[in-house]
Copies of this chain bind each other. A is one copy, B any other.
Amino acid sequence: MKRPELSQAYVIAPDVNQNWLTRRVCGKDQSGVLKEINVVEERPLTIFLNSQEIVTSMTIGDHPKYLAVGFLSNQGMLRSDDELTGIDYDKELETVIVRTARKTNYEEKLSKKIRTSGCAVGTVFGDMMEGMNSLTLPSTRLKTSWLYALSHKINQTPSLYLEAGAIHGTVLCEKDTPLVYMEDVGRHNAVDKIAGWMRLNSVEASNKILYTTGRLTSEMVIKTASMGIPALTSRSGFTAWGVDIARQVGLTLIGRMRGQRFICLAGEARLLWDADLDRIQCEPQKTRRKGSQK
């Protein structure tokens, strides 16, 4: 029987052969010697909702439609029942226009609020938190053996991070299988791309696990919860507010996951400690991710 390649399990994995996502840049190293390294690209992308310009985001540039739809969904600007009538991406103008059948409530809200508050950022955040109060995530069980398997597979997957560094990754997983692995210069963009992919492919969220290389801040927890995903795990650490919100909405929150170790600060009652810790290996130096906080 042929042993399947790691990347065969993925629906979408990082495409390290897309040359336009990185660039060779020349400089001098600590000895004054000329050296060329791979560096990730960073481009502006302006997202419109119908006729309304919403935000200009810095992104590596892949999956712009997923990014736009995911961003608008996660911000509560697109409702789950909004019918999308078109998504137009213009590579040259660096814009994406998401069109809906119904005039979105966000546009009305914005035109009212901008008169008093000027910029939507504060408003948007308030709206996101509002959504949290009525939310309770399904209490899906989670095996610790899955967490170790996911960690191992994801760390071994060829990625722009391993090619060029300075980039965050987020992976949508089911049980012990990573499904969609997105990367971006902003960790929120990587999550938004996953949200967009899920929405446009009507993917069930209640049995999923989200893995991120970024920290578990309030915004990451809010995004995961509004995607309906009941578990969020990271190599990085927590903020106290991230923990508070996770406990409020019933999100299982696992951080500082490296090698054998992790800590679960919310939803620990749903964990099944089925992994045999003696069989969990330390991370090999080669694939150890440096981009992780304590």
> A27: which B residues are within 8 A, CB to CB?
263-266, 268
- What 1/0 mask marks residues of chain A from 27 to 53 whose CB sits below 8 Å from any chain B CB? 111111001010111111010000011
Task: For A218, give its contact among B35, B58, B275, B290 (CB under 8 Å).
Answer: B58
Given contacts A28-B268, A290-B294, A292-B291, contact A240 B119 (CB under 8 A): no
Is A53 touching B293 in the complex (CB atoms < 8 A)?
no
Any chain B CB within 8 A of the CB of A72? no
* Smallest CB-CB A-B distances: 10 pairs: A165-B294, A166-B237, A56-B122, A27-B265, A42-B239, A165-B237, A291-B293, A42-B241, A53-B117, A119-B120
Task: For A263, give its contact among B28, B237, B239, B294 (CB under 8 Å).
Answer: B28
- A interface residues, how many (CB within 8 angstroms): 75
Any chain B CB within 8 A of the CB of A62? no
Q: How far is the CB of A104 from chain B (nearest CB, A)?
A: 12
CA distance A53 to B121 in the complex (A): 10
List the B residue with the shortest CB-CB distance to A253.
B27
- What 1/0 mask marks residues of chain A from 165 to 190 whose CB sits below 8 Å from any chain B CB? 11100000000000000000100000
At the interface, is chain A mostly helix, strand, loop or mixed? mixed
- What 1/0 mask marks residues of chain A from 5 to 34 whose CB sits below 8 Å from any chain B CB? 000000000000000001101111111100
Q: How far is the CB of A118 from chain B (nearest CB, A)?
A: 5
Is A237 touching B118 in the complex (CB atoms < 8 A)?
no
Task: For A118, give its contact among B120, B241, B243 (CB under 8 Å).
Answer: B120
Is B28 touching A271 in the complex (CB atoms < 8 A)?
yes
Any chain B CB within 8 A of the CB of A54? yes
Any chain B CB within 8 A of the CB of A68? no
CA distance A8 to B39 in the complex (A): 38
> A217: which B residues are within 8 A, CB to CB?
42, 58, 166, 185
Is B55 touching A119 in the complex (CB atoms < 8 A)?
yes
CA distance A271 to B37 in the complex (A): 19
Q: How far is the CB of A193 from chain B (nearest CB, A)?
A: 17
